[in-house]
Amino acid sequence: MRSKIVAGNWKMNLTFDEADELVNDMLDRLDEEHEMKCEVIVCPPFPYLEMLTDMEYEEQKFNVGAQNCSAYDKGAYTGEVSAKMLKSLDVDYCIIGHSERRKYFGETNEILAEKVNRVIENNMSPIYCVGEVLEEREAGRHFEVVKEQLEKGLFHLDGDAIYDAIIAYEPVWAIGTGKTATPEQAQEMHAYIRQLVKEHYDQAAADDIRILYGGSCNAKNATELFSQPDVDGGLIGSASLKAEDFVSICKQASKLMKD
Ligand code: 13P
């Protein structure tokens, strides 16, 4: 059975002190949970990565991911952060292609394919995000949009590398809106994505790959979303900024994993 993953995307929130407080609160609460079986990933802003990777090694309770990386390897690219730099801080995951990067920073599927390559070359796992905007869903184009995002940005990976990837389905209309996809809508898209993995790779890759749901996922709706057969956990935005809510979501994911 695939293990569940709960990943927190802090986005551009929190000062250093607030981040320190949040992670300590989270660790205290995780300490109380002896049955935490799911994998927990925390994705803070770049300046806080080292604080978290240090704690990761001390506490062994969570893994650390970045929210983005450069499409370039190294060199004169002022303001960019390379995948190699992230790896040198012991970061193991990197979110690629979040809809906010696609929308506000003009990241195309072609740029994202390069970012995925840099992440894989540096032995990290991309958390590759896909999802349609409201107009696309209303026009019945959501499957087509997600298919193109996957085919252009992720499915160029060869058979072995796809095993390192995680996919996050985040319908844009559900992000930060409080309007969560129904469990049926999430399941339908996740099953479709898994079918695409099977078509481009094979049954083993489709059975193995973790597909997370993101978009107004919170402590109240996590169980019903994560109990869908093709939903392997969540990519959590605002609820990851509250230790109580985030740990509750992790606990719900763990409960759904059989011994
Ligand atoms: P919210 O959980 O705040 O809707 O954000 C989801 C998200 O974008 C995670 O990457």
**Structural domain boundaries in the chain:** 5-258
Q: Does domain 5-258 have CATH number 3.90.1300.10?
A: no
Q: Residue 164: pLDDT above 70?
A: yes
What atom of ligand 1 comes closest to residue 239's alpha carbon?
2
Question: In angstroms, what CA-CA distances link 59 with 56, 136, 201?
Answer: 5, 43, 36
Report which protein residue has its CA nearest ligand 1's atom 1: 237
**Pocket flag, ligand 1, residue 236 (CB < 6 Å):** yes
**Pocket flag, ligand 1, residue 217 (CB < 6 Å):** yes
- Which of 39, 98, 100, 132 is flagged as catalytic? 98
- 190 is known as an active-site residue: no
Position 33 confidence tier, pLDDT thresholds 50, 70, 90 = low
Report which protein residue has its CA nearest ligand 1's atom 5: 237
Position 56 confidence tier, pLDDT thresholds 50, 70, 90 = confident
Q: Residue 34: pLDDT above 70?
A: no
**Beta-carbon-side half-sphere exposure of residue 117 (alpha carbons within 13 Å):** 12
Q: Tell which one of 166, 173, 175 to mutate to probe ligand 1, the residue whose CB is within 8 A of the most ligand atoms.
A: 175
Q: Residue 243: pLDDT above 80?
A: yes
Tell me the pTM.
0.97
3-class DSSP state for residue 213?
strand
Torsion angle (degrees, nearest 10) of CA 189, 191, 194, 195 = -100
Q: Residue 43: pLDDT above 90?
A: yes
Give rounded-to-5 percent helix, strand, coil for the chain: 50, 15, 35
- 98 is known as an active-site residue: yes
Position 211 confidence tier, pLDDT thresholds 50, 70, 90 = very high
**Pocket flag, ligand 1, residue 171 (CB < 6 Å):** no
Average pLDDT, the chain: 96
DSSP category for residue 62: -
**Pocket flag, ligand 1, residue 9 (CB < 6 Å):** yes
Angle at 164 between CA 206 and CA 207, to 5 degrees: 15
Q: Tell which one of 102, 235, 241, 245 to mutate to probe ligand 1, the residue whose CB is within 8 A of the most ligand atoms.
A: 235
Q: What is the pLDDT of residue 35?
A: 66
**Pocket flag, ligand 1, residue 68 (CB < 6 Å):** no
What atom of ligand 1 comes closest to residue 218's alpha carbon?
2
